[in-house]
Structure 1
Amino acid sequence: MTNLQMPATRDYGWALKPVSSSHFNIHQKGNGQFCVVLNHALLRGVSAEMLHWWFLNFTRLRVLLKDVPGYVLQEVPGYWLWHPVDHLSATLSGNLGPGGVAKEGCSIHIREAMQYDRFGWKYPVDAKLKVYYVGSDGWAMGKALPLVGPVMMLRIHFKDVFEDGQHVGVHYHYEVVIGATGNNPVTRFINRKIASEFGPEFFAAWHRHNVIEVGTFENFLPALFAQKDASSSVEYARDMNPDLPSPDTQTGYDWALFERRLSGYKNSDTPYVYQQYQSPSFL
């Protein structure tokens, strides 16, 4: 990974969300397996339909940046809008949907670095994962080993939120399970090996990365979604930025859900079953 060149930071003029806008915790099991729960602030101006479209298409999107400093009239991967610092590339392969969109059973190759502005390549990701779920309510990807089963699974849930009959945003919730289930010499060895690359220290850095990543949806996704019928190439300019209040006072959207899901992982002997990574949303 250190031989790869991270693109220069993109200054879109956005106010990035702080980690205080989320609920986050890591629970480590006795066998070295661990579980992460991250509950985000409500996504304002975004709909579940927009998010579903994004996850189907983001790897193939090209975006013409009209007025971003250092990128004026340059076409870049849509993945570079999803995080202004940490993202390098994301590509799909295998059995894809019509036009090359994501489909359950395909593979995704992700290259990025957690908090690149602070740590450089200390916490890199250069991973090829299987996509297990592509739904109107979420997304799941991960890795399984023969005779062992899942050893990494990342599951996203999202749901429209209404107040007094009016759409006010999206509840966006993220859970990760890392390591093999069970407690024997084989699973403990596997979990030590996985944790050496993707352990709790990595996911502590991932916390800020993901809060920024998810928060940016409020800034760019409505503008890109409005162009969804144009082509795989769309445009973005800083004057498209919505007039949003500061995110500094936001907190995670659902504390009760966060506590319930974290408690569930602490009490579960089968975290991947509890995670429901191949099931519809539990929100």
Structure 2
Amino acid sequence: MPRRVVLPPPRPVVRPLREPGSARWSIRRLSHHRVRVTIDHRPLAGITPAMLLWWFCHINDDMTYAGQRMPGYLAWHPLDHIRWELARPAPGGGAGEGARYRIVEAFGRNEDFVVDSVERVEKLDETGIRLVRRVLGVQVFQLEHTWSAGEQGVHYVSVMDLGALARAAAPVNRFLTSRVFPPDMAEAWVRHNVEEVGVLEHLLPDVLRQRPDVAASIGPA
């Protein structure tokens, strides 16, 4: 279970956060007590796959947000995000594919819904990112965000899988999906994810205005 954390003061919410109703989402119970949460987000206007790839490689770079200097991760969700760190760099250095991310957040600023976890980045390219956690070599968690260019902006889909595939893992899966990450926490994560993905529509252009060198290298939206 995640240890208790002290929630930092919230950062200003400079634009309204998206509501869960803006996305199509579902929480499905699968075989052996596994759970899958799927969120098909409203398109992100003015955002490109190249911008998203750069962002996930530079989540914690400092930026100016609401007149304050802070890590980009804290601006990404101004209410729920607590800490991000590079637990292990990628083989080639940095936060790319093969790195391990430590993520600390509290969905809805609820201390009962705190996540403090380290996941391995098993995929990161212009089509998306996949984060995986294994216990004794067995995959028990996967979060995959996929994105693609569209006429109205980037089409962004998030899929979270909780639990191991093997039948023998059913008791562990039951504990995971009923006690560690219960149904009300899964619903809180839906709201959290809809909000943070929606923030990118405004945050990324703001970041790139502050980083004209990066904007020039990844091209226009």
Note whether the superposition's TM-score is higher than 0.5.
yes
Q: Secondary structure at the match of 1:129?
A: strand
> How far apart, CA to CA, are the structure 2 residues paired with 1:228 and 1:157?
25
> How far apart, CA to CA, are the structure 2 residues paired with 1:43 and 1:220?
11
Contact 1:102–1:134 (CA<8 Å) still a contact in 2? no
> How far apart, CA to CA, are the structure 2 residues paired with 1:226 and 1:22?
28
Q: Secondary structure at the match of 2:167?
A: coil
2:70 aligns with one of 49, 72, 76: 76
Equivalence map 1:14-33=2 (5 Å):
14-33=15-34
What amino acid is aligned across from residue 171 of structure 1 in structure 2?
A: H
Q: CA deviation at 1:129?
A: 1.0
What is the aligned partner in structure 2 of residue 176 from structure 1? 160
Aligned positions, number: 212
> How far apart, CA to CA, are the structure 1 residues paired with 2:176 and 2:4?
22
In the alignment, structure 1 residue 224 sits paired with structure 2 residue 213: no
CA shift digits 1:124-156 (9 cap, x unpaired)? 100011111111110010212335x21100000
What amino acid is aligned across from residue 102 of structure 2 in structure 1?
A: H
CA RMSD of aligned residues (A): 2.0
What is the aligned partner in structure 2 of residue 235 from structure 1? none
User: Percentage identity across aligned positions?
Assistant: 28
> How far apart, CA to CA, are the structure 2 residues paired with 1:229 and 1:171?
25
What is the aligned partner in structure 1 of residue 106 from structure 2? 113
What is the aligned partner in structure 2 of residue 214 from structure 1? 197
What is the aligned partner in structure 2 of residue 262 from structure 1? none
CA shift digits 1:53-82 (9 cap, x unpaired)? 1011113x11233xx3xxx4x321111111
Q: TM-score, normalised by structure 2?
A: 0.88
Q: CA deviation at 1:3?
A: 4.9
Q: TM-score, normalised by structure 1?
A: 0.70
Q: 1:115 to 1:218 in 2, by over 3 A?
A: same
CA shift digits 1:83-133 (9 cap, x unpaired)? 1100011111323366x53122211100000111xxx20111000111111
Contact 1:22–1:41 (CA<8 Å) still a contact in 2? yes
Equivalence map 1:264-279=2 (5 Å):
none
Instruction: Point out where structure 2 has 5 or more consecutive residues left out of the alignment.
Output: 215-221
Instruction: Point out where structure 1 has 5 or more consecutive residues left out of the alignment.
Output: 163-167, 232-283
Equivalence map 1:157-176=2 (5 Å):
157-162=146-151, 168-176=152-160
Contact 1:2–1:121 (CA<8 Å) still a contact in 2? no
